[in-house]
Structure 1
Amino acid sequence: MAGPTPEFWQARFESQQTGWDRGACSPQLLAHLDSGALQPCRIAVPGCGSGWEVAELARRGFEVVGIDYTAAAVERAREHCRSVGVDARIIQADVLAWQPDQAFDAIYEQTCLCALHPDHWFSYAGRLSAWLRPGGVLWAMFMQVVRPEATGQGLIQGPPYHCDINAMRALFAEPRWAWPKPPYASLPHPNMGHELAVTLIRG
């Protein structure tokens, strides 16, 4: 399998090398929630990591399923949910193979896509489409982390991998996915580039 392995991520969590972790729920998710744009529903959080977003969604009445394939991340997310007194389902699974027994109304995609090697992006996009019911919403945060060696020499570098917006339009292509018009909200990341918030509706 191209790209980082479960052992790679396990070592990162065990050694506290989790620079992508804000230590709190994403401000963009809070904005979606506080504005009322994202209402309680059945929602998945792939690559849930420490579980900040899972816990916040559960606290606000969502039926949430957090997914991560690293044991340390799953345990950390479960512990965080216990510590704040919320009940959420957090499972250890490979997002490239896992399939829910019931379709989701929404998916919050923040750090999973950019953690996967681009060789797996089409497979992952297909999974997200299969997880969602028709008309379901993908609340995506596309990581923008341009690397000179990537643009100058075509090297694939990461994680995190740069989620170029043109590549994202090809990956989540119309008419299967309905795209809003740009510009998109930009959220600075504390340790790397920034994220573009894009809300896609599954056809």
Structure 2
Amino acid sequence: MKQQFNAAYWEHRYQLNQTGWDAGDVTTPLKEYFDQVTNMDIRILIPGSGNGYEAEYLFRQGFRHVFLVDVAEAPLQNFAKRVPGIPKEQLLQQDFFSLKGKYDLIVEQTFFCAIDPAQRAEYAYQCAALLHKGGKLMGLLFDTEFTQEGPPFGGNREEYASYFKPYFHFLYFKTAYNSIQPRQERELFMLLQKI
């Protein structure tokens, strides 16, 4: 029987502390990108946000329209405890693929590699649907194959590009030069703009 990567699955992973993807802080490539963004009024979405260190960094820098979405309750509760000032309505416990609304920036950090690879084309479509025209999808993708059964699920830049090309201009899509140590030479940094 095929594993279902649903809310119960992810909630169980958090309860058992099986969160190997969790870096415990905003990673360098994302932090350095955020530090270049000057418009604090943009609406930012972080799908599969987990414990939301990226959102915490953004919020503490003055970005007030940061939205986290995750199917699991535990990481959103963890975030709310760490960042009590964020409005509760910006913590969305729901399936990313059913989400509505419009955003200026979507941040990808270990969500794409956590979903069933059969959903990758749908992920690209949903990102485009949630972005305003000219909005950006920014983040990191694993540019490697994993030997163990996922998640995480690996892949390569050619495969990934095929999902995004129908909806986005590629502003940057190269190996990240500033990945955290365990992920060096195995991540693509992407900056895509909705057509």
> Shared topology, TM-score over 0.5?
yes
Which residue of 1 is the match for residue 72 of structure 2? 70
Change (3 A) 1:67 1:183: closer
Q: 129, 132, 151: which is aligned to 1:159? A: 151
Counterpart mapping for 1:1-203 below 5 A = 3-34=4-35, 36-37=36-37, 39-40=39-40, 41-62=42-63, 63-82=65-84, 85-87=85-87, 89-100=90-101, 103-148=102-147, 157-174=149-166, 176-180=167-171, 183-186=174-177, 187-188=179-180, 190=182, 194-203=186-195
Superposition RMSD in Å: 2.3
Query: Unaligned regions of 5+ residues in structure 2, if any?
Result: none
Taking structure 2 as the reference length, what is the TM-score of the superposition? 0.87
Aligned to 1:152: none
Secondary structure in structure 1 of the residue aligned to 2:22: coil
Contact 1:137–1:201, Cα closer than 8 Å, also in 2: yes
Aligned in 2, Cα 1:118/1:19: closer, same or farther, shift over 3 Å?
same
1:161 counterpart SS class: coil
Conserved 8 A contact 1:51-1:78: no
Contact kept in structure 1, 2:48 and 2:68, CA below 8 Å: yes
Q: Percent identity?
A: 27
Paired amino acid for 1:69: V
TM-score, L = length of structure 1:
0.84
Aligned length: 190
Q: Which amino acid aligns with 2:141?
A: F
Distance 1:189 1:142, change over 3 A: farther
Structure 1 runs (4+) deviating above 4 angstroms are 85-88
Per-residue displacement from partner, 1:137-191 (whole Å, max 9, x unpaired)?
1002112341358xxxxxxx411111411111100014x2111355432424637
Cα distance in structure 2, aligned partners of 1:178 and 1:117? 25
- Structure 1 CA distance, aligned partners of 2:75 and 2:181? 20
For structure 1, the 5+ residue unaligned runs are: 150-156
Alpha-carbon spacing, 1:52–1:178, altered in 2? closer, same or farther (3 Å):
same
